[in-house]
Amino acid sequence: MKIGATIVKDEIGYWKPKLAKNEWMRIFPNSDGMLPAWDDPRFKYMQDVGGQPFASTKLDGDTNKIKALRTRLLDLPGWISTLWLTDRHEPEGDFTASQYKAHFKLYFDMIKGLPADIRARIKCGPVLTRQATENSGGLGTYATYDPGVGDFFGVDMYGNSWGSGGKAATSYVDPKTFLAKVKTYDSKGRQKLFPEIGYVGLPFDSDGSKRAQWIEGITQELKTWSNFVGYIWWNANGKEGSSISGLGTKRYFQLDRRHTGTDGSYKTLNPALPLNKFNSFKGI
């Protein structure tokens, strides 16, 4: 099972000494929706640590951009043994299901038509959203947005940071419960993977050990799945959300940070801890 952690571009210098081993990492598109250049610092970091990039685009059925991406992929650097690729990850809030499915099928048709030597090094599939599907009032089933094609079926997996009464959550959801609906979803022969998984360091978790236990529990459960590729921890800040009592508006997912107050402040944990052996992020 592959395990990685995402690092945003401006924090690579901070994290590289701590994550000198990183099997794969999320890389987001440029503002025009296209892939960053192959010499982007995030690709360079993956090359340096021997990892595989998991890149996304936002082409959304634009045939000119799909052609331009094909040209880029024909120049896939030799060091990339596998490029994991998706278009419009977490599409539920951006397009209707029928629009997204049509866009993705055009995209995947291009991937399938690549020369055999390039195609063999690219894995492409859809990436949907756990919270949009499983939260109260959500879609209820992953089939709604699943285009049914691809080399894999991906889900971005986040735990809710809110509890009852507008307050921060006071526990992490049991790993088996957290994973249950994705585990039982019929992925139509495609392997499953999580390009993003995260849980904020909640205030009740005073030293980060409870989140470390949760990650360990997630890892042990996923090891029992016969069709699971791996996951990538969202080791970055999330978008600011509605204010939660005991949490504030910030969303800290970093492995070495946890929330400490309603002003969104945080504490850095174990700043000297080397994370080279981070297969379960123990001790964070």
SS (HEC) of the chain: CEEEECCCHHHHHHHCCCCCCCCEEEECCCCCCCCCCCCCHHHHHHHHHCCEEEEEECCCCCHHHHHHHHHHHCCCCCCCCCEEEEECCCHHHCCCHHHHHHHHHHHHHHHHCCCHHHHCCEEECCEEEHHHHHCCCCCCCHHHCCCCCCCEEEEEEECCCECCCCEECCCCCCHHHHHHHHHHCCCCCCEEEEEEEECCCCCCCCCCHHHHHHHHHHHHHHCCCCCEEEEEECCCECCCCCCEECCECCCECCCCEEECCCCCCEEECCCCCCCCCCCCCCCC
% pLDDT > 90, the chain = 79
pTM for this prediction:
0.93
Residue 236 belongs to a domain:
yes
Tell me, what's the pLDDT at 262? 64
Tell me, what's the pLDDT at 283? 37
3-15 average pLDDT score: 95
Residue 247 belongs to a domain:
yes
Residue 45 belongs to a domain:
yes
Domain with 109 in it: 2-268
Tell me, what's the pLDDT at 280? 43
Q: Tens digit of pLDDT for each residue in 140-172?
A: 999 999 999 999 999 999 999 999 888 999 999
Q: Tens digit of pLDDT for each residue in 47-81?
A: 999 999 999 999 999 999 999 999 999 999 999 99
Residue 280 belongs to a domain:
no
231-237 average pLDDT score: 95
Residue 273 belongs to a domain:
no
**Has residue 281 got a pLDDT over 60?**
no
Q: Which residue has the higher pLDDT, 197 or 248?
A: 197
What is the domain-level CATH number for residue 201? 3.20.20.80
Residue 196 belongs to a domain:
yes
What's the pLDDT band for 215 if we cut at 50, 70, 90? very high
Q: Tens digit of pLDDT for each residue in 102-139?
A: 999 999 999 999 999 999 999 999 999 999 999 999 99
Mean pLDDT score across all residues of the chain: 92
**Has residue 179 got a pLDDT over 90?**
yes
Residue 23 belongs to a domain:
yes
Residue 37 belongs to a domain:
yes
Domain count, the chain: 1
What's the pLDDT band for 270 if we cut at 50, 70, 90? low
